[in-house]
Structure 1
Amino acid sequence: MKRRHFFFFSGGLAIAGLGYLSQNIKTQTHPLPTNADRLLEPPNFRFVSIADSGTGSKSQYDVAGAMKGYYDQNPYPLVVMAGDNIYNNGEIEKVEAVFERPYQPLLDRGVRFQACLGNHDIRTDNGNPQVAYPGFNMKGRYYSFHEENIQFFALDTNYETDWKSQLTWLENELSRSQAAWKIVFGHHQIYASGHYGYNEFLAPKLTPLFAQYGVQLYINGHEHHYERTHPLRGTTYITCGCAAGLRPVGRSQWTAYSASRLGFAAYEVYGDRMIVQAIATDGTVFDRGIVKFN
């Protein structure tokens, strides 16, 4: 599933299903609240997301330092980890070097990390040691949890997983959810403009469920860049696999913003909107967008 770079070339379609995408992608723009508005109205909940983090490299520490800097100004209780938590082969004996030490300042303040499994994580015992590791707070290979008026759904998006059981579980969970905000996260991209691009395996499995049950946000890694899409059938897709390393990224017809830049994504959830910011290692906000409640 390598990317067909800038996949819609002149003279024809570059991937099967682009006609379907063209009919269903709606580009929406919404005015962002002013800084004054945001000061008057604190968010109901705040969290951040990272992915492809577990290297123990200087780059990982730089991003972790920026996460701590953001916490000092905007405290948050939750970090969503969208997979590849331990490079290169998911060896749990590395967890101190690639997780506990880099994020110790946040862990010391009680910040909780909620992880899912990436393709590197399942190379050791199919990822089971990570599922059992208390610091990743995984209730299984796929699971859900609530925060305020949000329900999060963590997926195992590896191709080898039991997709029949997982999709049955996901539909049941989504159909029963009474949460105002539904956020799904998994390691692999669905819409992205980097090395892998549009995911022909995952898209037909997941996007119809997202549309049917009103999932507003999908968070992923796997692609080592940052990217925010326009809302696609009501769902915004955030790629944030830039927590320790980078690859080049382009743009696609779904792209609202993309950058090959180290950093993390920060989210402020209000009653009727969610503010998404991409924050670099120097604390610079290099993207800011809004997800409207639907």
Structure 2
Amino acid sequence: AKRANVPWIIVGLHRPLYDIYGCPNGVPEGHNANIQAAFEDLLIKYKVDVVLTGHQHYYERQTPIRNSTAVLEGVSSDFKTYDNPQAPVYILSGAGGSVDVNNATWNAVSNYVDYGISALDSYKHPGTSARGSSAG
């Protein structure tokens, strides 16, 4: 695809590459490691902007990540704005569970308690926004 005509590339997967439960030390293990090995090079090669996943029953939004490392170029200090990120941004939207695990440096936002929904609004101008709504 000609990137000028396709300003956003969004990929959906059932299982995440990165999440706190599957990456207890910030590095994918088990299923996450298998998915990372199968897909991450392709996601980076084809300059995927956002990877939407589920499977886990909670919400997380990661910073852009490449090879288990946060890529913070273009990310605001409050982690709310991503301006031309240099790696895929990962959004896990399973909303509604409970988990007790360690955090990772690339985890920008998480909610392990509330049920909720996610919406992805795409506008031709000026860009795309993602939002979540908590039922709690």
Q: TM-score, normalised by structure 1?
A: 0.33
**Residues 263-278 of structure 1: pairs in structure 2 closer than 5 A:** 263-270=116-123, 271=125, 273-278=127-132
Give 1:254 shift: 1.1
Secondary structure (helix, strand or coil) at the match of 2:64 reads coil
Give 3-state SS (helix, strand or coil) of 1:231's partner. Answer: strand
| 1:256 alignment partner AA | A
Partners in 2 of 1:180 and 1:274 — Cα distance? 10
Match of 1:179 in 2: 6
Distance in 2, matches of 1:179 and 1:217, equals: 13
Structure 1: which 5+ runs fail to align? 1-174, 283-294
What is the aligned partner in structure 2 of residue 220 from structure 1?
A: 53
- Tell me the CA shift for residue 268 of structure 1: 2.3
Cα distance in 2 for residues equivalent to 1:263 and 1:256: 18
CA contact under 8 A between 1:251 and 1:258: conserved in structure 2?
Answer: no
Letter matched to residue 275 of structure 1: S
Equivalenced residue count is: 105
Whose radius of gyration is greater, 1 or 2? 1
- Over the residues paired in the alignment, what is the CA RMSD in angstroms? 2.2
The corresponding residue for 1:73 is none
Mapped contact 1:265–1:276 kept (Cα < 8 A): yes
**Partner residue, 1:230:** 63
Distance 2:108 2:128 in 1: 16
Q: Percent identity?
A: 26
**Structure 1 Cα separation of the partners of residues 54 and 6 of structure 2:** 24
Aligned to 1:257: 109
Per-residue deviation, 1:222: 1.3
- The alignment partner of 1:200 has SS state of helix
Structure 2 residue runs of 5 or longer lacking an equivalent are 67-86
The structure carrying a bigger helix percent of its residues is 1
- SS of equivalent residue, structure 2 residue 110: strand
TM-score of the pair, normalised by structure 2:
0.67
| Greater share of residues in strand | 2
Using the alignment, how far apart are the partners of 1:267 and 1:185 within structure 2?
A: 12
CA–CA separation in structure 1 for the residues paired with 2:110 and 2:39: 22
Quick check: 1:223–1:247 contact (8 Å CA) kept in 2?
no
Q: Is 1:189 matched up with 2:16?
A: yes
Q: Per-residue deviation at 1:193?
A: 0.6
